Amino acid sequence: MTTLALDRPELHPISRKGLPAYPNGWYAIALASELPRGGVVRRHFMGQEIVAFRTQSGVVSVIDAYCPHLGAHLGYDSTVEGETIRCPFHYFCFDTEGICVSTGYGTKPPPKAIISAWPSREKNGLLLVWHHVEGAPPEWEIPDLDTGDYHPLINRQWDLTSHPQETTENSVDIGHLAIVHKYDDVEMLSDLNTTGPYLNVSYAMRRGAGLAGQLMGGIRSEFEIHVHGLGYSLVEVKIPRFNIEARLFVLPTPIDAERITLRVAVSARKVTQPGKIHSALGFLPKPLILPILNRMIPPYVLDGLAHDVQQDFEIWQHKVYFAPPILAEGDGPVGRYRQWVKQFYCGNPATSF
């Protein structure tokens, strides 16, 4: 693995909110399904262009976008040849470590023809890239999930003017849940716990939205939040009334010092007992009703997640960042969150948070 350059000032900017623009950590750049064998995707990431490709054997590599030979962008018209990516300009080929292994002329590759490669992982249906402003290797890993009983990920994404610290802060901002999202009976089920880069908290709420919610006096949902750094949040959701369980992923990834791509993804647990969703469904033949339920529930959950996340957009995009904040009883553990996030910044001017 080649070392990321440390002397590029674009990796160390301060956002307009006064926060260091690029916190250290793991960030999603795509669903794993977006990159088939032989596929190439390009992304604007942390103020620069990168390219991800999957070799014919299935190995994923993430590298800087520009060929070191004469500067062609490998995200346009390049091809995957075996275990390498081939530049469209002069057919120079680079392996998964970013090393040039052949030229289009059959001559010896220049020793300095090396592209910086980014540490990357395929985890839980996502393609994750490690970023550290000082070029340090990964300092922690995202845990693997057992996906056997779950549907494949489906997702939506938006480009916003915001910052990963701001969007992730919603996971502890209990006060806004009733006001912005109109949840009822919000209660914390467990206190905020942090261990290194991991943050965990759980809560429950009742929502009366939709016909079902209104007829039943609100539908109670339980959420357990698992945050690993500022780029990866997993929310495990249970709706006991309907025996529905799902994993919601909230994935903010910096584009540049001002903007992020916010991806939300859903993986719902497969339904096997339709009668637990509604007693009437238990009388229908499973071969008939299970395919329908398993087709309907994942997009239904994604619609709900997307709706709720979009309620925050106007606030995120137009708010300013006050450090330190003036907190009040009922906010939730925002102050402790602000202390926890400090570990993801280095090499930048001190911030009061």
Q: What is the pTM of this model?
A: 0.91
Whole domain around residue 249: which residue ranges? 154-344
- What pLDDT is stored for residue 207 in this prediction? 80
Whether 4 shows a pLDDT value over 90: the answer reads no
Residue 284: which of 274, 276, 294, 292 has the closest Cα?
A: 274
> Tokens 């620069």 identify what position?
48
Q: State the pLDDT confidence band at 1, using cuts at 50, 70 and 90.
A: very low
What percent of the chain shows pLDDT beyond 90?
78
Burial of 297 (0-12, 13-18, 19+ CB in 10 A): buried
CATH number of the domain where residue 24 is located:
2.102.10.10
Residue 136 within any structural domain of the chain? no
Q: State the pLDDT confidence band at 214, using cuts at 50, 70 and 90.
A: very low
The verdict on 161 and 299 lying in the same domain is yes
Structure tokens at 9: 């000032």
Residue 138 within any structural domain of the chain? no
Residue 121 within any structural domain of the chain? yes
Q: Which tens digits make up the pLDDT trace of 95-126?
A: 999 999 999 999 999 999 999 999 999 999 99
The verdict on 162 and 257 lying in the same domain is yes
Mean pLDDT of the chain: 90
The verdict on 188 and 257 lying in the same domain is yes
Whether 216 shows a pLDDT value over 60: the answer reads no
Question: Is the CB of residue 175 less than 8 Å from the CB of residue 331?
Answer: yes
The verdict on 60 and 207 lying in the same domain is no
Q: State the pLDDT confidence band at 219, using cuts at 50, 70 and 90.
A: confident
Residue 147 within any structural domain of the chain? no
Whether 65 shows a pLDDT value over 90: the answer reads yes
Residue 143 within any structural domain of the chain? no
The verdict on 169 and 317 lying in the same domain is yes
- What pLDDT is stored for residue 208 in this prediction? 65
Strands (E), 14-167: 25-31, 40-45, 48-54, 60-64, 79-81, 84-86, 93-94, 100-102, 117-118, 120-123, 126-131, 154-161
Residue 244 within any structural domain of the chain? yes
The verdict on 159 and 70 lying in the same domain is no
Q: State the pLDDT confidence band at 9, using cuts at 50, 70 and 90.
A: very low
Residue 142 within any structural domain of the chain? no
CATH number of the domain where residue 202 is located:
3.90.380.10
The verdict on 113 and 169 lying in the same domain is no
Q: Quote the number of domains for the chain.
A: 2
Look at residues 81, 116, 131 and tell me which one is the last residue of a structural domain: 131
The verdict on 232 and 305 lying in the same domain is yes
Structure tokens at 90: 């002069």
Average pLDDT over residues 235-260: 95
DSSP bridge partners of 250? 233, 264
- What pLDDT is stored for residue 170 in this prediction? 94
Question: Is the CB of residue 28 less than 8 Å from the CB of residue 142?
Answer: no
The verdict on 274 and 314 lying in the same domain is yes
The verdict on 168 and 106 lying in the same domain is no
Whether 3 shows a pLDDT value over 60: the answer reads no
Q: Which tens digits make up the pLDDT trace of 329-348?
A: 999 999 999 999 999 998 55
d(CA 246, CA 337) in angstroms, rounded, equals 25
Q: Which tens digits make up the pLDDT trace of 70-87?
A: 999 999 999 999 999 999
Residue 350 within any structural domain of the chain? no
d(CA 268, CA 248) in angstroms, rounded, equals 8
The verdict on 110 and 161 lying in the same domain is no
Whether 15 shows a pLDDT value over 90: the answer reads no
Average pLDDT over residues 200-221: 71
Residue 41: which of 65, 68, 71 has the closest Cα?
A: 65
- What pLDDT is stored for residue 353 in this prediction? 67
Look at residues 131, 164, 187 and tell me which one is the last residue of a structural domain: 131
- What pLDDT is stored for residue 114 in this prediction? 98
Q: State the pLDDT confidence band at 352, using cuts at 50, 70 and 90.
A: low
- What pLDDT is stored for residue 350 in this prediction? 46
- What pLDDT is stored for residue 83 in this prediction? 98
The verdict on 326 and 200 lying in the same domain is yes
